[in-house]
Structure 1
Amino acid sequence: HQPEASDPELLTEQGHDNSTHINIDHAYYTSKIYGPGDAMGKELWVNIDETEEDEWKVFGVLSGTHRQAERVNLSFDFPFYGHILKEITVATEGFIYTGDIIHRLLTATQYIAPLMANFDPSLSKNSTVFYFDNGTALVVQWNQIHLQDSISLGTFTFQAILHTDGRIVFAYKEIPIDINDINTENHPVKVGLSDAFVVLHEIEQIPNVRRRTIYEYHKVNILKSKISNSTAVEMLPLPTCLQFSSCGPCVTSQIGFNCSWCSRLQRCSSGFDRNRQDWVDLGCLEERRDPRCLRVTDVANTTSHHLTHTTTLVMTTSMQQRTSSMTSTPVSKMSSTVTSPSTHSNTKSDERLQIGLLAGIIMMMVVMAAAVLMSVYMYNNPTSSAGLFFMERRPTRWPVMKFRRGSGHPSYAEVEAPGQDKDTAVSERRRC
């Protein structure tokens, strides 16, 4: 992936005052950190008590549970790393999971984490994790929650706000200790964003089984030392290659990424996003930074004009032939009629085209009839060889997989909505 424009760790020793904000460029996002003395830090906090209930489109509560996650459908399209998300997963341990596949290893990557840690809302009746959606933003608040292995330290209260324009806000109301002092033995501690793409690999030893590998192509690390009471972090999305819908603007863009256009996908990309699998499988890597795609439209238009002109000429010739035939001399004198070689060739070509078209239609009808008969046969004889063959190879929503447990990445159970499928998967997490 592309390196970040500036390393946030270098800013820890520059002695910034808590009343000022810090700007950090992360390639995909620009983050602004507001200290406790900055009025903006307090303004970014959303006061739930002042929000009218009739403004909520979605409302939910996750309380009295530990290491639970719940799927939430958004009432708006939320852009994340240039991709549009229509649903997210809220976890009790201080983060939002943004991946498509629900699995037990949610803390590895693809997250929005205002403060990921080993929180346990079940330790106190006052601890809650709730969210609401007003149509333009989703607010998730972790309210008065304790760390499971350090309950005596006090409670934490903070928010994550996802705006319809792609802005992400972390707001902190109550942070009793330095985040760097939180124990990471039983759970990772993270503040920031992460995204990844998933690649499917065939397993040679096991037919019809594929392994998922997750590659984290980028993440944003927010300075933990800057997080305290009455602070806030605002992350503004930067342009990505995915925003371009045609070749010209894509390959000539100057946004800090090596954008290239893939004519097979009709998509602009740097090659590192959630659609990486399609980008590789369809050979888009060979088209990287190819300026010839700028001329594709012109060539297509020229070809279309040429074909139209040629068709017109053929139609005119055909009309002339038919007219000549209608006004020809009697049959006894037909031998003196001269037929040009090109006209004779066109007539034969038309006959062959008609015969080929008729043969194709007949063949298609035969195939369709065979498919219908085969379907009826398999329906009435499900235990036949053909029926078992297609049942074993029927498409499924997700290939069966399991994630390998890694150190520092605890397992999560999903709070499942009625009628919602839940899948597991096998994967290795690698950094590219």
Structure 2
Amino acid sequence: MSWLKILVSSLALCLTIAEVIDYSGFSSFDSPTVVFRQKRETEETRWLPTLPPDYDLDDSENDPKNVTTEHIYYNMTAVSGDMTAFTDHYMNMTQFLTQKNVTGNFTHEHLMKAYRKAAGVKLKFNFPFYGHELTNVTIATGGFLYVGDQTHSWLAATQYIAPLMANFDTTSNNSMITFGDDGSRFIVEWSNVKLRDDPNAGPFTFQLSLFSNGDIWFVYKDIPIPVANISDVNHPCKLGVSDAYLFNHKMKIPTDATQTSSKRVIHEYHRISLNGKEVVSNAVVILKALPTCHGFSDCESCSNSSLKFFSCTWCVPSEEESGFCSDLDGLHRKRQDFVEGYCSRPKDKVCENPSKSSSKPSGSSNSTEAPHPDAVVSLSTESPKTKSEMDSGKATLTYGKTFVYLSILFIFVFVAWLYYAYNNPYSWSGQQLIKYRPSKWRSPANQVRYSASGHM
């Protein structure tokens, strides 16, 4: 029954938010309770049907040092070899933390002299990441922020903002992680951190800035070696941002059709990876947030919106829940609600009062679904039953009653036979009862039985 144990162990993923996290389990992205589905670096840019290819944009100043690429959710501009740009974007953390409106610290006590540790920090503003507003981030010693809704041991897998994710630690005397928040900008600096598996490479110093409008800055002060020379054997080496959604897949237990188990799978739906050649000393990378459907808070503005990369639709998961604006494919953190609310199906009246709707739309051959693997998986346990399903249920109930009646009749006949055989020992039934009486079933006390084994 080992398969049953594995299935039972695949129930709900227990993800507990804690202030301090040890993410040493990064090397294994899958576990019996959580599975990661990621976009691999070797895949082409068009890895999902909703994403057109990235392409270069004309820089406003026609500066050959600036390269801007559009990534649907962000415009990414990389600037290298320009000290003016570096000076404009780099923040002196000592001066920043002395400002009256800034809260933060020169270091977090749990990130000092630490390795593969992470600590949660609450922001003073709502930070829109891929359109989703965040109020908490997790700072990791490995050169990145984890920005998922729930924490776990695989922080480096996805849902990250990584100016330079690598096998860093803060055990050296002058290594520190400094952070500050002025209410509209949150800055983290990894200062003089060294690679644990290559300490002779020298100290790295770089900054990350988050802005209330969703923009992200990566500022690199000291990068002593090329990023291509950084090993990813003991820790992932990543540059950029990634987001994913958590989906609760429900499955029936083979041994009990009335029971279901669930497996929570984290699907990465978008990633932006920087070119390692752009990450050098005094370089700057700017991720300019682009409008998404999540920026619309009411049905009218959502339905009438006109965005470059997204067609928006208003989604109301159920009569008890408030609606939200979504892209037509539902690739975002609310995908569970999007799928179970049948939000990908066409609607006659998009902005009608959901309370007037009698029920969720039933299955139809004319309905269209998004061309995404999750879209064809039926996960809702409350979906309306068809007539054939109801008839099948009635037939199953009838068969069950018949089986119970036959079982009772068999037991009654067997007991009557035993009674007759016991009282008529010279009859054929009585002789059979004597021949196969229960006392004959026991083995002699000095006889030992064993099961054959392949190890003999």
Structure number having the greater helix percentage? 1
Match of 1:41 among 80, 86, 96: 86
Tell whether the 8 Å contact from 1:136 to 1:163 is kept in structure 2 after alignment.
Answer: yes
Rounded Cα–Cα distance in structure 1 between residues aligned with 2:282 and 2:72: 27
Match of 2:293 among 229, 241, 260: 241
The answer for the alignment partner of 1:125 in structure 2 is 173
The answer for the alignment partner of 2:311 in structure 1 is 258
Q: Map 1:397-412; keep pairs closer than 5 Å.
A: none
The answer for the alignment partner of 2:428 in structure 1 is none
Matched, 1:23 2:68: yes
Between the two proteins, what is the percent identity of the paired residues? 35
Tell whether the 8 Å contact from 1:27 to 1:238 is kept in structure 2 after alignment.
Answer: yes
The answer for the alignment partner of 2:201 in structure 1 is 153
Rounded Cα–Cα distance in structure 1 between residues aligned with 2:116 and 2:197: 14
- Stretch of structure 1 that moved more, 25-34 or 198-207: 198-207
Rounded Cα–Cα distance in structure 2 between residues aligned with 1:68 and 1:208: 36
What is the aligned residue count? 290
> TM-score with structure 1 length normalisation?
0.63
Tell whether the 8 Å contact from 1:153 to 1:176 is kept in structure 2 after alignment.
Answer: yes
The answer for the alignment partner of 2:272 in structure 1 is 220
Tell whether the 8 Å contact from 2:228 to 2:276 is kept in structure 1 after alignment.
Answer: yes
Tell whether the 8 Å contact from 1:18 to 1:37 is kept in structure 2 after alignment.
Answer: no
Rounded Cα–Cα distance in structure 2 between residues aligned with 1:291 and 1:42: 54
Rounded Cα–Cα distance in structure 2 between residues aligned with 1:134 and 1:257: 32
Offset, 1:213: 0.3
Root-mean-square deviation over aligned CA pairs: 2.6
Matched, 1:283 2:342: yes
The answer for the alignment partner of 1:329 in structure 2 is none
Matched, 1:88 2:130: no
Rounded Cα–Cα distance in structure 1 between residues aligned with 2:94 and 2:103: 16
The answer for the alignment partner of 1:56 in structure 2 is 102
Match of 2:126 among 50, 72, 77: 77
SS in 1 for 2:336: helix
AA partner of residue 26 (structure 1)? H
User: Per-residue CA shift, 1:150-201, capped at 9, x if unaligned?
Assistant: 1111110001011111111000000011111211111111110110100112
AA partner of residue 216 (structure 1)? E
AA partner of residue 156 (structure 2)? T
Tell whether the 8 Å contact from 1:42 to 1:232 is kept in structure 2 after alignment.
Answer: no
Rounded Cα–Cα distance in structure 1 between residues aligned with 2:222 and 2:130: 29
Matched, 1:102 2:139: no
User: Per-residue CA shift, 1:1-53, capped at 9, x if unaligned?
Assistant: 42244158x99xxxxx9962111100000111111225223210111122215
Rounded Cα–Cα distance in structure 1 between residues aligned with 2:245 and 2:230: 30
Offset, 1:292: 3.0
Runs of 4+ aligned residues of structure 1 deviating over 6 Å after TM superposition are none
Tell whether the 8 Å contact from 1:18 to 1:38 is kept in structure 2 after alignment.
Answer: no
Rounded Cα–Cα distance in structure 1 between residues aligned with 2:173 and 2:252: 52
Tell whether the 8 Å contact from 1:19 to 1:35 is kept in structure 2 after alignment.
Answer: no
Offset, 1:204: 3.2
Tell whether the 8 Å contact from 1:19 to 1:38 is kept in structure 2 after alignment.
Answer: no
Unaligned runs of 5+ in 1: 12-16, 301-432
Rounded Cα–Cα distance in structure 2 between residues aligned with 1:117 and 1:6: 26
AA partner of residue 76 (structure 2)? S
Offset, 1:58: 3.0
Matched, 1:268 2:325: yes
> TM-score with structure 2 length normalisation?
0.60
Tell whether the 8 Å contact from 1:167 to 1:236 is kept in structure 2 after alignment.
Answer: yes
- Stretch of structure 1 that moved more, 252-261 or 23-32: 252-261
